[in-house]
Structure 1
Amino acid sequence: MDFDPNCVFCQKQAADYVMEGNLSVAFWDIHPVSKGHLLIIPKRHVTQIWEVSAKEREALIQMVADAKKLLDAKFEPDGYNVTINSGAAAGQSVFHCHIHLIPRYWNKVTKRVGAIPGQFLVPKARPEFKDYE
């Protein structure tokens, strides 16, 4: 496993993990946009999503699906944003590949956090869309 001693994500410990697999882990975002905001990362230090191996990509996608099930049970959100910021110009601020899994709730005010695309896209009240998955 590649490790960068200067990377804040590489310094995470097992006690920080909400979920752990062979190639990926998930932990709570320290600046959450909403309740349940998770980060999902490869265990190996890679800067960009474009650098992960096929097996790591598969593990990351599986962990997103598994994390969604966990968040569904724990928080019952109304929807999700799944976001990858790749590069400083795209808003990436920690240069260890990571996926934001952001639960969304009807009529909840979100917190402004850096450059997470779509963080303010939750409409106030749109009951006509509540039955769509």
Structure 2
Amino acid sequence: MKSVCSFKFHDVLIGSGLIVPISHRENVFDLTEDEWNTTFSLFKEVKALLDENLSPDGYNIGWNSSSYAGQHIMHAHLHVIPSFKDEPYAGKGIRYW
């Protein structure tokens, strides 16, 4: 787990993870402008790290906002999932994860 400012990056699946603000924000729409900027900065660092270590063919990136949209943990978090052309879910999109 890497801590950057008031955010953490958590590994969830091999090579994938979550960017989570430490301050409670129920969903993405509750983030402050500074939190958006920090999320983007950390996202770029995470992508560079994953590109260097895994060389994925693409990425699935996503926020779920509300239980009706698939949010099961009511704390804002950004999914970062590297994708590979030879995996079972290749080309399926984020809903399959």
Query: When the two structures are superposed, what TM-score results if normalisation uses the length of structure 2?
Result: 0.88
Please state which structure has a larger fraction of its residues in helix: 2
Q: Distance in 2 between matches of 1:105 and 1:66?
A: 20
Question: After superposition, where does 1:33-48 map in structure 2 within 5 Å?
Answer: 35-48=14-27
Name the count of aligned residue pairs.
93
- Please list every run of at least 4 consecutive aligned residues from structure 1 whose deviation after the TM superposition is greater than 6 angstroms: none
Structure 1 gap ranges (5+)? 1-16, 111-115, 120-133
Q: Distance in 2 between matches of 1:80 and 1:94?
A: 22
Aligned to 1:117: 95
Q: Distance in 2 between matches of 1:24 and 1:74?
A: 22
1:20 CA drift (Å): 1.5
Structure 2 residue 51 is matched with structure 1 residue 75: no
Is contact 1:47–1:96 with CA below 8 Å preserved after alignment? yes
Aligned to 2:10: 27
SS in 2 for 1:107: coil
Structure 2 gap ranges (5+)? none
Is contact 1:39–1:100 with CA below 8 Å preserved after alignment? yes
Aligned to 2:41: 62
**Cα deviation code 1:19-39 (max 9, x no counterpart):** 21112110111xx3xx31110
Highest Rg: 1 or 2?
1
Please state which structure has a larger fraction of its residues in strand: 2
Q: Distance in 2 between matches of 1:117 and 1:61?
A: 22
Query: Please, what is the CA RMSD of the aligned residues?
Result: 1.3
1:117 CA drift (Å): 2.2
Query: Structure 2 counterpart of 1:27, which letter?
Result: H
1:43 CA drift (Å): 1.2
